[in-house]
Structure 1
Amino acid sequence: MRGNNEMSSISTNKQTGGRKIQFSLDGRRRKSLRLGAVTLRQAQTVRGYVDDLVHSHKTSTAPKDKTLQWLGELSDDMYDRIAATGLIPQRVRATLGDFTRQHIDSRKVELKHSTVQVFERARNHLIAHFGEERPIHEITAGDADVFWLYMAEAGLAQATARKMIQRCKQFMNAAMRQGLVTENPFADLKSSATRNAKRMRFITQQTIEKVIQAVPDAEWRLIIALARYGGLRTPSETLLLRWCDVDWDKGVMKVRSPKTEAHEDGESRYIPIFKELYPYLREAFELAEPGSLHCITRYRDSNANLRTQFLRIIDRAGVKEWPKLFQNLRSSRASELAKQYPMHMLVEWMGHTVEVSLKHYMQATEDDFKAASYLGGEEAVQYPVQNLRPFGGSKGNEGEGDNDEIRSIPLESQKVQHIANKEVTGMAQVGLEPTLVRF
């Protein structure tokens, strides 16, 4: 129970109608907080917050959350009046431009170059919308909602917008730790990764072999093969692969992963040298300069753009470009492996969790639908599939010559379990692909 000496009082000037709250921080001298011509109810509301701040000051405890929220929403003028009484510290006024610049610069040593670039893009969007001189404590949850709409109007994909919100949350969390804001205005906005099913494609082995045949050198053939047949993240994991990581005798290789190195035992993983990958890996090894450290010696500059050159190769091969060039190669490999190996082996080889695998990588193709239907025949392998979106858009798959791609259907249910009607032992025959059925 708080003592009466902690309670404040309200007085009113009969001539002007102005009200003020009087309180004491030391039990003797009383201080005044002038409120101006406000209603008695408004004065009583402020008095409740003042009593909480007085109690916190005397007991060296934190104010209630609702008091902190009230302080954060105060105008600079009112906040300064309260701070002048010694009840709260002076407000540090940090602008959006200065704070975000300082935050990024202070973390450049610990962050990867690619992460810094994402922070820079988020900062650019914030400044373009709010302005460099906007005090960060004035940004409200309502402002954050409008910022989300701004990103949509700017043409950002939902996944990109969520990534920007994630960085905005990190900016504001840092500001909270420094006492510059009392709450994170972006806290309620979604920032978790999402996948756009419209951009998912299953790239057949026939298609990727056609692309590989249009490649002029062994290193590029290996880059593509590592993504499609090894399931490596490209460029990060591909460019880190070293010849010392390849164990020809055991048929395995070590994959170093910057994306998961912060997780327990996530800095690297071992995968089989799959039989589809082997010829391209061996070719590059035979042609490598003596003493070469990395399997891929070109494009080691962090600014190197693999996408641009890959698009040229795809065009040269006469194949239709597909979305998310390298990620869909990795996703296609994951979908193949899931049909032949238990899930625990798949996630270990791919370097992600079951949840991530089901949400971002698993795809059902037209061949899967045929195999599961009466068209597949008695000998077809059956794959139980749950929560599939209806298949559509077959005309988009029709092109000249070989099949360019198969529009896939995502498997998003976390209850999906792989069940095959035969056991697979040793190195599975993963090189065969059924003929694409046109719907």
Structure 2
Amino acid sequence: MASKSIAKNGSVTVYVYVNGSRKKLRIGRVSKRQVESICVWLGRLESSRSTNEPVDKQTADWLNGIDDQLHQKISNVGLVLPRSSANLMDYVDGYISERSEVKQSTATVWRRTRNHLQKFFGPERQMRDVTLGDAKDFRRYLLSEKTGKRALSEDTTRRTCGIAKQFFEDAKDRGMLDRNPFKHRDIPTATGAGDKSREFFVSRELAERVMFALPDAQWRLMFALARFGGLRCPSEVLSLRWCDIDWENDRMIVSSPKREHHEGGELEVVPLFPEIRPYLDECYDLAEDGAEFVISRYRKFDSNYGTLLTKHIRQAKLKPWPKPFQNLPSTQETELAEEFPMHVVCSWIGNSQLVAAKHYQQVTDDHFKAAQKVGQQTSTRGCNG
């Protein structure tokens, strides 16, 4: 707990412990009531610092209400970060770099949000200066064409604002902010049922035409694994090893963090569908002796393979579709759902039935054609009756 000493001239010094070392803050001349109050608040900060727990709301409110001079003295002993260092981009960069426990894919998404924040707010913006109005403007910016490429979907915008909210909430928990500008009903962060407007069914005929446009055997296999195996690219496709292929039983072991909520953890046994086999055989014949990974030429997990696929599609004078790689497993799951029970399909694709319904399964033209046939049959039976 914080302790105090009072000099003969009435000047107050408060002592606190930070990382096991005794530190002193020269407060100056204040009333007895004020020094008692300061000791209480500093004691709370001391406790929060030693246990690495966020400060409570009352302490955060007090910390944000004091003047810069007292705040600087508190930061000098290491109880809080200095206000002058609460630069938005510096804080976000530090937040991401310190979270070494998160998956690479999560860090990649965080960095994407970080880049949006920097483009909108600039490199010098202080976190304390970001208002609710600024946060609303940021959301509108994401939904506009001003991001540099195209407007983000509603779901992606919500997810991006949710990550920004996470950054600011962490700063608030550490007593650097008294409010989170992204924590407001006008800035929704819960994702909905997905953006159905960007769904696209990649027919087998179209898939075959794309195959002819791809530059080499490994690219063709990457495409086949996603379209006919339902694997996510790059995470699951690039993680596939030759030892994961069960040639005799036509099965393969797929490894991905996305599947860790299933009974087998991150590993799932899925069929080696016959459409994949010729492309797999081709790559096997070309593989070097002792090769570990099925895809050996393209190993960068953070590359934008969707953009590269779009480029190859355009070179073949075909029209690119939205979310080029994401719509491949979506198409495969839609097809499988017509033939197998959903619990089996979800096990193979590596998602839940809820996620499948929201983000994977599509309504195709064949469904409408089938509905017309049912209607015609019903009409015929009615006339005959």
* Common fold by TM > 0.5: yes
> How do 1:154-173 and structure 2 match up within 5 A?
154-155=146-147, 156-157=151-152, 158-173=154-169
Cα deviations by residue, 1:306-329 (Å, 9 ceiling, x for unpaired):
335423432344432111111111
Deviation of 1:129 (Å): 3.7
Aligned to 1:248: 247
Deviation of 1:296 (Å): 1.1
- Determine the C-alpha separation between the residues in 2 that align with 1:294 and 1:371: 42
Cα deviations by residue, 1:286-320 (Å, 9 ceiling, x for unpaired):
33232221111111134545335423432344432
1:183 to 1:345, Cα distance in 2 relative to 1, 3 A: farther
1:346 and 2:345 matched: yes
Aligned to 1:192: 190
Aligned with residue 98 of structure 1, among 90, 104, 122: 90
2:60/2:172 contact within 8 Å kept? no
Q: Which amino acid aligns with 1:165?
A: C
Deviation of 1:167 (Å): 2.0
- Determine the C-alpha separation between the residues in 2 that align with 1:119 and 1:167: 7
Aligned to 2:328: 329
Deviation of 1:248 (Å): 1.5
- Determine the C-alpha separation between the residues in 2 that align with 1:344 and 1:257: 19
- Determine the C-alpha separation between the residues in 1 that align with 2:263 and 2:182: 29
Secondary structure of the residue aligned to 2:270 is strand
1:31 and 2:29 matched: no
- Determine the C-alpha separation between the residues in 2 that align with 1:101 and 1:143: 20
1:173 to 1:361, Cα distance in 2 relative to 1, 3 A: same
> How do 1:173-252 and structure 2 match up within 5 A?
173-188=169-184, 189-194=187-192, 195-252=194-251
Aligned to 1:148: 139
1:124 to 1:214, Cα distance in 2 relative to 1, 3 A: closer
- Determine the C-alpha separation between the residues in 2 that align with 1:309 and 1:134: 34
1:90 to 1:360, Cα distance in 2 relative to 1, 3 A: closer
Higher helix fraction (1 or 2): 2
1:260 to 1:79, Cα distance in 2 relative to 1, 3 A: farther
1:295 to 1:104, Cα distance in 2 relative to 1, 3 A: same
- Determine the C-alpha separation between the residues in 2 that align with 1:142 and 1:318: 45
1:66 to 1:163, Cα distance in 2 relative to 1, 3 A: closer
Deviation of 1:218 (Å): 2.4
> How do 1:6-405 and structure 2 match up within 5 A?
30-31=32-33, 67=58, 71=62, 74=65, 77=67, 92-93=82-83, 94-107=86-99, 109-153=100-144, 154-155=146-147, 156-157=151-152, 158-188=154-184, 189-194=187-192, 195-261=194-260, 265-302=264-301, 304-374=303-373, 378=377
1:231/1:329 contact within 8 Å kept? yes
Which of the two has higher C-alpha Rg?
A: 1
Aligned to 2:11: none
1:73/1:138 contact within 8 Å kept? no
- Determine the C-alpha separation between the residues in 1 that align with 2:363 and 2:241: 33
Deviation of 1:241 (Å): 0.6
**TM-score in terms of structure 1 length:** 0.63
Cα deviations by residue, 1:221-243 (Å, 9 ceiling, x for unpaired):
21111111001001111111111
1:184 to 1:363, Cα distance in 2 relative to 1, 3 A: same
Aligned to 1:415: none
1:282 to 1:78, Cα distance in 2 relative to 1, 3 A: closer
Aligned to 1:405: none
- Determine the C-alpha separation between the residues in 2 that align with 1:264 and 1:315: 41
Identity, in percent, stands at: 40
- Determine the C-alpha separation between the residues in 1 that align with 2:225 and 2:254: 11
1:71/1:79 contact within 8 Å kept? no
Aligned to 1:417: none
1:137 to 1:317, Cα distance in 2 relative to 1, 3 A: closer
- Determine the C-alpha separation between the residues in 1 that align with 2:64 and 2:130: 9
- Determine the C-alpha separation between the residues in 2 that align with 1:360 and 1:352: 10
- Determine the C-alpha separation between the residues in 1 that align with 2:34 and 2:244: 72
Aligned to 1:388: none
Uncovered stretches (5+) of structure 2, i.e. residues with no partner: 1-30, 379-385
**TM-score in terms of structure 2 length:** 0.71
Root-mean-square deviation (Å): 3.7
Aligned to 1:397: none
Q: Which amino acid aligns with 2:117?
A: L
1:376 to 1:293, Cα distance in 2 relative to 1, 3 A: farther
Deviation of 1:209 (Å): 1.4
Aligned to 2:6: none
1:303 to 1:147, Cα distance in 2 relative to 1, 3 A: closer
Aligned to 2:7: none
1:278 to 1:349, Cα distance in 2 relative to 1, 3 A: same
- Determine the C-alpha separation between the residues in 2 that align with 1:191 and 1:228: 31
1:200/1:323 contact within 8 Å kept? yes
